[in-house]
Amino acid sequence: MLPHPVLPAQGSLSLEQSIWRTAAAFEAANLDFGHGTDNPLDEASWLIMHVMELRVDRPPDYSQSVSADRRQACNTLIERRISERIPLAYLIGKAWFAGHEFFCDERALVPRSPLAEFINADFFDLYRELGSVLTQPPQRILDLCTGGGCIGISCALAVPECRVVCSDVSTDALDLARSNVAKHDLADRVSLVESDLFQSIEGKFDLIISNPPYVDAHDIDNMPDEFRAEPILGLAAGDDGLDLVRTIVAEAGKYLTPRGWLVVEVGNSQPAAQAAFETLGLTWLEFDHGGGGIFQLPASSLC
Ligand SMILES: C[S@@+](CC[C@H](N)C(=O)[O-])C[C@H]1O[C@@H](n2cnc3c(N)ncnc32)[C@H](O)[C@@H]1O
């Protein structure tokens, strides 16, 4: 328990004051930020604006006052965020990815992949930049290891005519993904498949995109508490973090159209992946908004 509430029950308090007080408390508590924000001020803004039922995609009136009831609701979330180290997205049940809102809970990781930037770039322009001979955006996309479905669903929203298969070995994750498919009204174009990597996958794809588990044993042993709130199945991937990525790289060629591409996130396991797949000539994507550790390979390198 915190010694006293972060937002006082008495007196007037503006939105701005509430955000700053919360940010200061988060900073003092030495929280880890890596589940949707990367600093205490953004995380505090997200929490307070959620309780105030304000849109996060437009500037609020920072002078508006925060009622006693809402302060209490904020304090409850702040207390849990600090005492239990639960990612805020789990506490409020939602997260943002690639500009879209998703249901989010302990059945899957909190969406945070830099792939959001890749997806929001115009697919067609990006394909041309990568030297693809595709004359149209990907028609069939596989989101392998989909979790709550944020990557596959964002792809479907970015490429209106495409069809997407989202697959995961976890039925819990797929249940969450199903809610997100319904939330975005995409049941006609996004299907869900329970599959251990490619085992139950059928057909070929123009794009296989994957944020698989890739955390190596050292990082698993040393990760902040916030990550322990997430399903370990979504994180741990053996000594060098490549247990699943090796299978993905070995088998993806069979599931790609001749002009298809494989895009895989490996995060901190980038050096291990670079060494393991040196002969394939991985191309590492660059991101304006931070993050990295994502490679792409054309089908021609994988056959
Ligand atoms: C890093 S999470 C990514 C979730 C989501 N794509 C995202 O970006 O937020 C990895 C996901 O891989 C799934 N997974 C773990 N092992 C798997 C396997 N053998 N086959 C398919 N999915 C697997 C986990 O259940 C988890 O949902």
pLDDT digits (tens, 9 = 90+) for 71-83: 999 999 999 999 9
Q: Which of 90, 106, 86 is nearest to 31 (CA)?
A: 86
Last-in-domain residue among 75, 92, 109: 92
Same domain, 87 and 235: no
**Structure confidence by residue, pLDDT tens digits, 80-121:** 999 999 999 999 999 999 999 999 999 999 999 999 998 988
- Model confidence band, residue 134 (pLDDT cutoffs 50, 70, 90): low
Domain that holds residue 219: 97-302
Q: How far is the CA of 196 from the centre of ligand 1 (A)?
A: 10
Q: For residues 68 and 55, what is the distance between their CA atoms, to the nearest angstrom?
A: 21
Which CATH number does the domain housing residue 79 bear?
A: 1.10.8
Structure-block tokens of residue 117: 């930037």
Atom of ligand 1 nearest to the CA of 146: 6
Same domain, 117 and 83: no
pTM: 0.94
Q: Taking a C-beta distance cutoff of 8 angstroms, is the pair 121, 181 a contact?
A: no
Using a 6 Å cutoff on CB, does residue 125 contact ligand 1?
Answer: no
Same domain, 174 and 225: yes
Alpha helices (H) along 159-241 = 171-183, 217-222, 225-228
8-state DSSP, 67: P
Q: How far is the CA of 32 from the centre of ligand 1 (A)?
A: 22
Structure-block tokens of residue 250: 């070995």
Last-in-domain residue among 41, 66, 92: 92
Q: What phi, psi does 258 have (nearest 5°)?
A: -55, -30
Which residues, in sequence order, are bridge partners of residue 97? 100
- Model confidence band, residue 123 (pLDDT cutoffs 50, 70, 90): low
Using a 6 Å cutoff on CB, does residue 151 contact ligand 1?
Answer: yes
Q: How far is the CA of 183 from the centre of ligand 1 (A)?
A: 20
